[in-house]
Structure 1
């Protein structure tokens, strides 16, 4: 039996399914505590939303159709509130600025504070319809979250945050991940993707904890 599980969690801050999965992340930490280590990575899903959405939703009412899809996707989940303005009148051009700052936060502050900042970014967009594609909006959220924006800026200036973000993108491609969110565990042998229920996530964690790495997991 192994003592702990490492989960590499890949997401995009503008992805509604990752917004829904925030509660599941909290439950993993609550149930499994120190037995699970979550490393957060960011995927290139909405790096150019103003090209992606009009193209992929051209025959489904474009922005309005996508906005409706997001609202309907989140509707069954009380914890995943969605503001009616997102993607309708508030249309971030990219998630890359938020991801870059979050990699800087990981480098400067560590994993947990960076994840709290990621929550703040997502909450600002999905609940309060703030355009988190804008650097000035992100800086304001950092200020409200008591995160020193200037301390993050040094990692942008030196390129270390960009290098870390590009490394995330490369890893997601190498692992053939299909989208956001993706949970990767068991030395990359198990991947859960999309709107996966908490019990499935928990069962996979339990199986990895029970199974030595020298054996193939039955889960």
Structure 2
């Protein structure tokens, strides 16, 4: 009997505060169903704000403009995105706590992590809630049904923060400069929000034949 092919691994680097990552998640959903066991998906944290400090007025204007640009995308959910997260007076200082919560949830299974991620994205990007606050994190974790004892222990662990910082350093050393970024097969890097059809094309290429990046595209080989 011919052995089954080894699944293609796709690593998705993302930050829960990023509107582009939220839209990318939605576009990848149909591809996850289409390709099934042919692909092993790996979602990893890449904090856009590492240092714990208040965003400058210039940074807030830039972050607000990013959301406004995301609002123009064709998905119905894009029209639900709001800018209050960066304009409401309680802007996140760093995304580390939110990403630590997702890593703590992951210990209870990938679906637990995914449910919390979606709840945090909706709260932050559709309601303007600062999901890096501990009280908000624990409310959302309880709401999605996590086992709060183990979640609390993992969330407060220094090892969880170290894991996120180590992941960031490793990703940066491989050429990741922002999110969303997909690394396909450990070989090709696709940066920024793309159409679902384009993601599909990249996946099919890596599953079946050699791929030559398009001239002028933001695709490159992983170092």
What TM-score does the superposition give when structure 1 sets the normalisation length?
Answer: 0.84
Residue 79 of structure 1: aligned partner: 77
C-alpha distance in 1 between matches for 2:96 and 2:128: 17
1:11 aligns with 2:8: no
Q: Any unmatched runs of 5+ in structure 2?
A: 214-223
The 3-state SS of whatever aligns with 1:37 is: strand
Q: Any unmatched runs of 5+ in structure 1?
A: none
Deviation track 1:71-100 (CA, whole Å, cap 9, x = no partner) reads 232232322321242211141222110111
After the TM superposition, list the runs of 4 or more consecutive aligned residues in structure 1 that deviate by more than 6 angstroms: none
Q: How does 1:100-179 map to 2 (within 5 A)?
A: 100-106=100-106, 108-179=107-178
Cα 1:154–1:86, aligned 2, differ >3 Å: closer, same or farther?
Answer: closer
Residue 92 of structure 1: aligned partner: 92
Q: Is the 8 A contact 1:14 1:122 kept in 2?
A: yes
Deviation track 1:1-39 (CA, whole Å, cap 9, x = no partner) reads 944211111011111211221211212212211211111
Q: Is the 8 A contact 2:12 2:44 kept in 1?
A: yes
Residue 210 of structure 1: aligned partner: 208
Cα 1:53–1:180, aligned 2, differ >3 Å: closer, same or farther?
Answer: farther
C-alpha distance in 1 between matches for 2:157 and 2:18: 28
What TM-score does the superposition give when structure 2 sets the normalisation length?
Answer: 0.83
1:124 CA drift (Å): 0.8
Residue 221 of structure 2: aligned partner: none
Cα 1:17–1:217, aligned 2, differ >3 Å: closer, same or farther?
Answer: same
Cα 1:122–1:49, aligned 2, differ >3 Å: closer, same or farther?
Answer: farther
1:116 CA drift (Å): 2.1
How many residues are matched? 207
